[in-house]
Amino acid sequence: PILDASLPDGSRIQLTYGNEVTRRGSTFTIRRFRVDPLTISDLIAFNTLSSEMAAYLWYVIENRASVLVAGGIAAGKTTMLNCLSMFIKPEMKIVSVEDTQELNLPHENWIPSVVREGFGYENRSAITLFDLLKAAVRQRPDYIIVGEIRGEEAYTLFQAMATGHLGMCTIHAESVEAVINRLESEPMNIPKPLIAMIDLIMVMARTEIEGKPARRTITATEVLGLDAKTGSIITEEVFRWKAKNDKFEFLGRSSLLEEHMKKLDISEEDVRRELQRRKTVLEWMVRKGIRRYTEVANVIREYYANPARVFQRARMGLK
């Protein structure tokens, strides 16, 4: 007498029938999805993250970072994942894998895939996240995006990242340490060398600001690799949310940015200037109310094609 299903509009529904498992009678819970999804402009306006942090995320994702978004229940993980996915370059091929489709990307070369429930006692003909991920790897995507990793499919994703694919996903965990512990434990059982394939871990949290519910990105932490002596994962926090004043603090160093400087033989000033340009564009979108999904996608796409023109328009618009 229990059913999990999708409604025609894509909303998720969970039903119980009678009083056999729910003693007070039948129940239903509907999880509706926004027709107009939240964008990075909305998250900056809500102070879920700062424009400086968003510019950093835009830059590292453009330069092929794999990102894991963690948090508790209803912390905004999927919303953040969708917003970050919009920073992926327009020409890249993306395959997304979800239980129920929640992601909505503007990329022409995007293949959304969802699981299929089986039927009968043996759950015949079911197609799981694990099945979809194995198929995704064979489709030669640039990015593989998994709505949420929970079981054996996580190992497949991390193996794919080890062979050169880029990845994004969410996981239920409320700190960087909890993320690593979950990945290492049953049923995922991911060895530390594969965990080190993740470039960046973000942790979302539900909180209260002046008595009102809010969501905040409490940390953005880079994964640097393995300690040669201890074998433990080395991490470095780049941004931190300060609850006392509800501000986001840059902690002064990013190994991802430094690695990019070395690769392209550019200076720290070059990177700082580029981050400032993107911060200006993001703040302009927020101020001008450019927040709809298609509008934000168009600005990001245009920036990749002609960054100087978009920056000048944004700079003039903020005066």
The pTM (predicted TM-score) of the whole model is 0.93
Q: Fill in the amino acid letter for 313.
A: R
The CA-based angle 116-117-121, given to 5 degrees, is 150
CATH number of the domain enclosing 95: 3.40.50.300
The CA-based angle 80-83-87, given to 5 degrees, is 130
Gap between the Cα atoms of 51 and 55, Å rounded: 6
Gap between the Cα atoms of 236 and 232, Å rounded: 13
Residue 157 burial by Cβ neighbours in a 10 Å radius (0-12, 13-18, 19+): buried
List 30's β-bridge partners, or say none. Answer: 13
Identify the band that residue 6 occupies on the pLDDT scale cut at 50, 70 and 90. confident
54 and 136 co-located in one domain? yes
Within the chain, how many helices (H) and strands (E) appear? 11, 12
49 and 21 co-located in one domain? no
Number of separate domains in the chain: 2
Neighbours of 250 (CB within 10 A): 15
238 and 101 co-located in one domain? yes
27 and 50 co-located in one domain? no
Q: Which residue has the higher pLDDT, 35 or 71?
A: 71
Distances from the Cα of 25 to the Cαs of 4, 70, 93, 292, in angstroms? 17, 35, 47, 41
78 and 15 co-located in one domain? no
174 and 306 co-located in one domain? yes
23 and 110 co-located in one domain? no
14 and 107 co-located in one domain? no
Q: Which residues of 127-137 are buried (b: 16+ CB within 10 A; e: fewer)?
A: ebbbbbbeebb
9 and 51 co-located in one domain? no
Give the tens place of pLDDT for each residue, 243-262: 999 999 999 999 999 999 99
Owning domain of residue 22 = 2-31
- Name the helix (H) or strand (E) containing 134: helix 129-138
Gap between the Cα atoms of 216 and 97, Å rounded: 25
What average pLDDT does this structure show over 126-145?
95
Phi, psi of 279 (to 5 degrees): -60, -40
Gap between the Cα atoms of 23 and 26, Å rounded: 8
Gap between the Cα atoms of 219 and 75, Å rounded: 13
Share of the chain above pLDDT 90, in %: 88
228 and 257 co-located in one domain? yes
17 and 123 co-located in one domain? no
77 and 136 co-located in one domain? yes
Axis crossing angle, helix 255-264 with helix 268-287, rounded to the nearest 10? 120
Q: Which two tokens stand for residue 232?
A: 């433990």
Judged against a pLDDT cut of 60, whether residue 120 lies above it is answered with: no
Give the tens place of pLDDT for each residue, 151-176: 999 999 999 999 999 999 999 999 99
> Which residue, among 61, 70, 67, 106, has the nearest Cα to 88 in the 3D structure?
61
Identify the band that residue 122 occupies on the pLDDT scale cut at 50, 70 and 90. low
pLDDT of residue 5: 80
For the chain, the straight-line distance linking the first and the last C-alpha, in angstroms and rounded, comes to 61
